[in-house]
Chain A
Amino acid sequence: MIDTEKTWDILVVGGGNAALCAALMAREAGCSVLLLEGAPKPFRGGNSRHTRNLRCMHEEPQDILTGAYSEEEYWQDLLKVTGGLTDEHLARLTLKHTSSCRPWMYKHGVRFQPPLGGTLHLSRTNAFFLGGGKALVNAYYHSAERLGIDIHYEAKVSDIEIEGDTFKSAAFTYQGAEYRVRAKAVVIACGGFQANLEWLEEAWGPAAKNFLVRGTPYNRGDILKVLIAKGAKTVSDATQGHCVAIDARSPKYDGGIITRVDAVSLGIVVNKHAQRFYDEGEDFWPKRYAIWGRLVAGQPDQIGYSIVDAKAMGKFMPPVYPPIRANTLRELATKMEIDPDALEKTVAEFNAAVRPGTFDHTIQDDCVTEGLTPPKTHWALKLDTPPYFGYPLRPGITFTYLGVTVDDRSRMVLQDDTVCKNIFAAGEIMAGNVLGKGYLAGIGMSIGTTFGRIAGEAAAHYVRG
C-alpha cells in the first residue's frame, strides 16, 4: 500500500539513475521519500538499464581511468557535438560534478571496471559500471530500500498539480485505482518520450512509423507533456535525440545496445533503390555512428543496407543478428529484396572509383574513392571477395532531448522565467539543457547523476531548511 494520507517530504517521479540519485540524496539528508516508478520491477530503471558508463572529468589517472580528461577538453567535446546548443553554466557544473561523484556512487554499491573489449577508445574518458547500467540501478535500489525510501513499481504518475510556482500534489494510478499524493517537494525524473510513437510522428512526420525504439518502452513523456502544458519552459526540440542506425530485424522496443551494426565504415551503405547516400568512411565508426540514424531516417521507407565482403569479417564487433549472406551481389540483393541490377551497378561504379591504397582499419587510411558522389574517404576497398554480407538498417531511437529548462539548483523554470520553488527536474527530462543535440558517449549518465544529486540535495534543503 502507498501511504497517501501523509504529506511526504519528497516525491520522486521516475525510477532511473537520476531519480535514484535524487531519492538517495534526499533520504541521506533526512527526508521522507516516496519514489513512484511507472515500469514493472524487472524493467525498472528506464534507459539507465541500457547504459554502461559515466563520462568523467579527471585531472590525472584514477583507478580505472587512464590519463587525464580536463574540464576544457570535455567542454570542447561537448561544444563540438552540440554545435553550441548547450547552457555553458549547467554544462560546466556537470563536468565538474563528474570528477567527484564516484566515491558516493561506490558507497551506494556501484562498482567500476576497466573498459570493455571494443571500447578501449573510451578508457580515458569513461568510467564503466561493472555489469553495466542495470547493475548500477540494482545497487541504487538496494541502497534505497535499506535506507527506508518507499518504492513502488507500476505506479504511473498522470498529473502534477502546480499552483503558480509551487508543486502541490501528484495524481497516479496504481493497481487499477487512482490516487493523489501530497509532498513538500517533487523531483521529476521520468525520462523523455522516445517510446511515444504518436509524439515522434508529430515531430518527424510519417517517417517515424518506421523507427525502432531502442530504449525503454516506458518513456512515453506523459509528464513532460503535462509540464509543458502547465507552462514549463522547454529546451531543445522534439526531433533531437540519440538516434543510431540499428539492425532492422531488432524488436520494436527495448533492443538496447546489442542491436547496433558496426560494419558501416568497412563497406558501403545503400538505400532501398540500391543507391549510396553518404560517405561511409568519413571518420572512425565510434565517432560517426550517432549520425547514421538520421541519415537512414532521411531515406525512402527509412531503410538502409550495410554491405561488406569477406575481407571485412572479423574487423568489427559482432552484431546480434547473423548477416544476410550470399555468394554473388545479385543473390544478396534478391535476399534483401532490393533491385539486383541497381546494386550491381552501384557496386561496379564504387569499385571503379576505388583508388589503390594501404588498407588499415585501425587508422584513417589512404584508401579513398575518386570521382564518386558521395565519396568514401577512408577504408574504401573494392567489394569483390565473396561471400557478401548484408545488414538491413533502420533508425533506432534511444532517447530524446526535448525537455524542461532548469537552473543550477535543478529547479524547473517556467516560460516567464519564474523559477519554481519546489519542482525539481533531473535526468533525461532536462538533459537538453546540457546536450541540446548530438551525442557524447556516457554524458547521459553524467547529466543524470549530477542533476539527480543536485535535485535531491536542493529539494531536501527546501523542505528541511
Chain B
Amino acid sequence: MFAAEDQPMSLDELIEDAQRVLRVCNACRYCEGYCAVFPALARRLEFTENDIHYLGNLCHNCGSCLYACQFAPPHEFQVNFPKLMAKVRGQTYRKYAWPGFLGALYEQNGVAVSLITAFSIGLLFLLAGALTNPTAFFTAHSDAQGSFYALMPHNLMAGVFGVVSVFVAIALLMGFLRFWPYMGEDLADFFKPKPLGEATVDALTLKYLDGGGENEGCTYPTEQKSFSRKTCHHLTFYGFMLCFAATSVATFYHYVLKQPAPYPFWSLPVLLGTVGGLGLLIGPAGLLWIKHQRDPEFKVPEQAGMDAGFLVLLFMISLTGLLLLAFREAAAMGTLLAVHLGFVLALFLTMPYGKFVHGMYRLAALVRFHLERRRPVPGLAPE
C-alpha cells in the first residue's frame, strides 16, 4: 500500500497517491493547528479529485507539517504532504488553463516562459526599432523630445498591451470559471462578502505563513521559523501592486489630464514605479534565493522552471524598468525600452500559463475554506 515513487506522476497516479496520503493525515490530524488545509481535510472521509485540487491550492507550502510528520520519509508511509500538494497545484494549473491546449505550456514551463520572453523582446525590438525609425533607435532623446514616444508611438504601445491584457483577463477568468464550479460551489457564493473578505485578508496578510498562529514566520527555507518568505513575498506582491498603480496613474495622467509621459522623477507615477520596482527587485531575488536554500526534500524538480521563470521575469522587468528610468535620456534608451517592454509583454503573455495563476487559485480555495467552515460538519465519534 505504501510506496511513493519520487518521479513525475500522471494526474491519475498523483490523485491515487494523494488519496493514500490524505487518509494517513485524516487518521492522524496532529497538524490541525498549522493552517487551513488540515481542518478542511478533517471534514471529509473520502477524497475525490475535486477535494484534492482544493486542498492542494489551500496549501501554502510553508513546510511545518513535513517537519512535524512522524510518517515522513524515510518512514515507510512516505508522507510528504507539502511536496505532494505542490505537485497537485502543478496539475491544477495545467488542467484548468484556457484554452485547454495551452495547459501543455506547464509541462516545460521554464522553457516555455524563456521562449516567450525571447519572442517578446524580439518583437519589441522590431516595433520600437526596425519598424518605426531604425536610426532614431540608437540616438539619445531628451525628455523634452518625448523620450519613449519618440521611438514608439503611444498608441502602438497602448494598442499592443491593451489587446494582450484583454486576452489575459479572459484566459484567467475562464480558468477560474472552470475551477470554481468543479469544486462544487455556486458562482454566487464566491461573492458572499464575509467569506470573500476573510479570504482576501488571509491572502493579503499571508496568514498561513505565520507558523500556526504564533506570528513567528514559517519553516521556510529551513526548519527554523523565519519571516524570510513572508517578507520576500510581500515585497514582490506589493511591489507588483505599486507598479500596477504607477501604470494606472500614468494612464489617468495621459488620457484625463492630457499629460503624456515622460514624467519627472518626483511625479506620482515615477515614485510609485520606483518604490514598487525596488520591491520587485528585492522580493523575487529573495524568493529565488530562499527557494535555492530550501531543504531538498520539498523540491519538485519538474516545477523548478515554472517557479524560477515567473520570478526571473518579475526581477528583470523591475531591473530594466529602473535602468530605463536612469538612462532614459541616453542613447541606450531604445535598447532598454525594447528589452523592458519585451519582459513586460512576456509576463503578460505567460500570466495565464505560469506561476502567476497560483494567486487566483489560492484565493478561490481560501474563499471556499471560509464558505465551508460555516457549514455543519458531518457527525463523528462521540467525544
Contacts and interface: CB of A to CB of B under 8 A. Distances in A.
A120 B32 CA distance: 13
Interface string B341-383: 0000000000000000000000000000000000000111111
Interface residues of B, number: 39
Given A113-B33, A117-B32, A321-B1, A256 B380 contact: no
A256 B71 contact: yes
A116 B71 contact: no
Given A117-B42, A314-B45, A363-B382, A257 B28 contact: yes
A138 B68 contact: yes
Given A130-B34, A131-B212, A315 B70 contact: no
B70 A118 contact: no
B381 A317 contact: yes
Interface of chain B: mostly helix, strand, loop or mixed: loop
A391 to B, nearest CB: 12
Nearest to B74: A42
B65 A131 contact: yes
Contacts of A121: 383
B380 A133 contact: no
Interface of chain A: mostly helix, strand, loop or mixed: loop
A50 interface: yes
A52 B64 CA distance: 15
A49 B24 CA distance: 16
Contact of B382 (A142, A251, A254, A361): A361
Contacts of A314: 45, 378-380
A42 B31 CA distance: 18
B43 to A, nearest CB: 9
Interface string A129-160: 01111110010001000000000000000000
A8 interface: no
A318 B212 contact: no
Given A131-B68, A142-B223, A142-B224, A317 B380 contact: yes
B27 interface: yes
Contact of B33 (A130, A257, A316): A130
Interface residues of A, number: 47
A135 B27 contact: no
A258 interface: yes
B72 interface: yes
Q: Which of B73, B223, B382 has the most CB of A within 10 A?
A: B382
Nearest to A52: B30
A52 B69 CA distance: 12
A362 B32 CA distance: 23
A121 B382 CA distance: 9
Interface string A315-328: 11111111000000
A52 to B, nearest CB: 6
A256 B69 CA distance: 11
A116 B379 contact: no
Given A118-B381, A317-B381, A318-B23, A138 B33 contact: no
Q: Which of B23, B28, B31, B73 has the most CB of A within 10 A?
A: B28
Nearest to B45: A318
B189 interface: no
Interface string A97-121: 0000000000000010110111111
Nearest to B31: A131
A319 B32 CA distance: 17
B165 interface: no
A130 B212 contact: yes
A260 interface: yes
A434 to B, nearest CB: 25
A212 to B, nearest CB: 13
A262 interface: yes
B295 interface: no
A316 B27 contact: no
Nearest to B380: A118
A50 B23 CA distance: 17
A251 B23 CA distance: 16
A285 interface: yes
A134 B380 contact: no
B212 A113 contact: yes
A131 B75 contact: no
A132 B68 CA distance: 7
Contacts of B214: 111, 130
Contacts of A114: 33
Interface in B176-220: 212-214
A448 B195 CA distance: 44
Contact of B67 (A135, A262, A318): A135
Nearest to B75: A254
Nearest to A252: B76
Given A111-B212, A114-B33, A142-B223, A316 B380 contact: yes
B190 to A, nearest CB: 26
B292 interface: no
Interface string B159-170: 000000000000
B26 interface: yes
B29 interface: yes
A257 B382 CA distance: 18
B33 A131 contact: yes
Nearest to A45: B70
B32 A116 contact: yes
A281 B70 CA distance: 32
A117 to B, nearest CB: 5
Contacts of B29: 116-118
A313 B379 CA distance: 10
A118 B378 CA distance: 12
A284 interface: yes
A116 B30 contact: yes
A138 B223 contact: yes
A320 B20 CA distance: 8
A131 B30 contact: yes
Interface in A265-317: 284-286, 313-317
A99 to B, nearest CB: 22
B286 to A, nearest CB: 24
Given A132-B68, A254-B75, A315 B379 contact: yes
28 contacts: A43-B75, A111-B214, A113-B32, A113-B212, A117-B29, A117-B380, A118-B381, A119-B383, A131-B31, A131-B33, A131-B212, A132-B28, A132-B30, A132-B31, A134-B70, A135-B30, A135-B64, A135-B68, A257-B28, A257-B30, A285-B381, A286-B383, A315-B379, A316-B381, A317-B380, A318-B23, A318-B27, A318-B45
Given A42-B74, A130-B33, 9 more contacts: A113-B212, A131-B30, A131-B68, A133-B70, A134-B30, A260-B27, A284-B382, A317-B27, A319-B27
Interface of A: 42-43, 49-50, 52, 111, 113-114, 116-121, 128, 130-135, 138, 142, 249, 251, 254, 256-258, 260, 262, 284-286, 313-322, 361-363
The 7 closest A-B pairs by CB, nearest first: A132-B30, A131-B68, A113-B33, A258-B27, A135-B68, A121-B383, A320-B27
Interface of B: 1, 23-24, 26-34, 39, 42, 45, 64-65, 67-77, 212-214, 223-224, 378-383
